């Protein structure tokens, strides 16, 4: 694995720990509070992170899917709380997809990373490596939202 891709892997590892810490202790009923009418709640952002980690896994040749992905895609309208998975299911899915993702990095070959990226999500260089790099950037954006929501909900900061 080249140095650039090792750094991308490092971003995912760091985000894994930050998100896990950010989720810690937040009561399930608080996952649906929003700082504004046009804001997403923690459940949506967390599910969105899980689904997009799954997309990274799929781009690296692993199989990963969930029955509730459509609730968390870009542009999805917020649903009622009853339509979402349970908080424990999201936490478990985060742990599962994170473990599989970090394992799949070890098997990511130069040939695999040099393959053309599929149409749809952006890729910085048109290759799988650029897609994974874009999704690391995308994830960091939403990890910031998760840590903000944690603090806004009164649970303190996740980092620092």
Residues of the domain holding 147: 3-152
pLDDT at 1 over 60: no
Give the separation between CA 104 and CA 3, rounded to whole angstroms.
16
Q: What is the pLDDT of residues 78-129, one digit of tens each?
A: 999 999 999 999 999 999 999 999 999 988 999 999 999 999 889 999 999 9
pLDDT digits (tens, 9 = 90+) for 59-83: 999 999 999 999 999 999 999 999 9
Asked whether residue 19 carries a pLDDT value surpassing 70, the answer given is yes
Q: Which residues contact 155 (CB under 8 A, 6 or more apart)?
A: 25, 26
Distance (Å, rounded) from C-alpha 19 to C-alpha 38?
Answer: 23
Q: Is residue 160 part of a domain?
A: no
**Does a structural domain hold residue 21?**
yes
DSSP letter, residue 156: -
For residue 19 the two structure tokens come to 């998100």
Q: What is the CATH number of the domain that holds 12?
A: 1.20.120.450
Which pair of tokens denotes residue 24? 């810690």
Q: Which two tokens stand for residue 17?
A: 């720990």
Are 8 and 104 spatial neighbours (Cβ–Cβ below 8 Å)? no
Let me know if residue 157 belongs to a domain.
no
* Prediction pTM value: 0.95
Q: How far apart are CA 29 and CA 155, in angstroms?
A: 14
pLDDT at 155 (0 to 100) = 97
Whether residue 129 lies inside any domain: the answer is yes
Domains held by the chain: number: 1
In a domain, 9, yes or no: yes
Which has more pLDDT, 20 or 160?
20
Q: Is residue 159 part of a domain?
A: no
| Domain contains 137 | yes
In a domain, 158, yes or no: no
């Amino acid at each position: 694995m080249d140095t650039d891709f090792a750094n991308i892997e490092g971003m995912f590892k760091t985000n894994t720990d930050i998100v896990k810490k950010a989720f810690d202790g937040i009561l399930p009923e608080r996952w649906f509070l929003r700082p504004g009418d046009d804001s997403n709640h923690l459940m949506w952002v967390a599910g969105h992170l899980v689904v997009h980690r799954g997309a990274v896994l799929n781009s690296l040749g692993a199989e990963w899917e969930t029955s509730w992905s459509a609730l968390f895609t870009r542009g999805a309208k917020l649903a009622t709380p009853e339509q979402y998975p349970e908080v424990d299911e999201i936490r478990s899915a985060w742990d599962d997809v994170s473990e599989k993702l970090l394992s799949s990095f070890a098997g990511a070959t130069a040939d695999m990373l040099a393959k053309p990226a599929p149409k749809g999500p952006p890729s910085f260089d048109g290759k799988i490596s650029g897609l994974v790099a874009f999704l690391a950037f995308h994830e960091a954006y939403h990890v910031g939202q998760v840590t903000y929501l944690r603090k806004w909900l009164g649970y303190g900061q996740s980092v620092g």
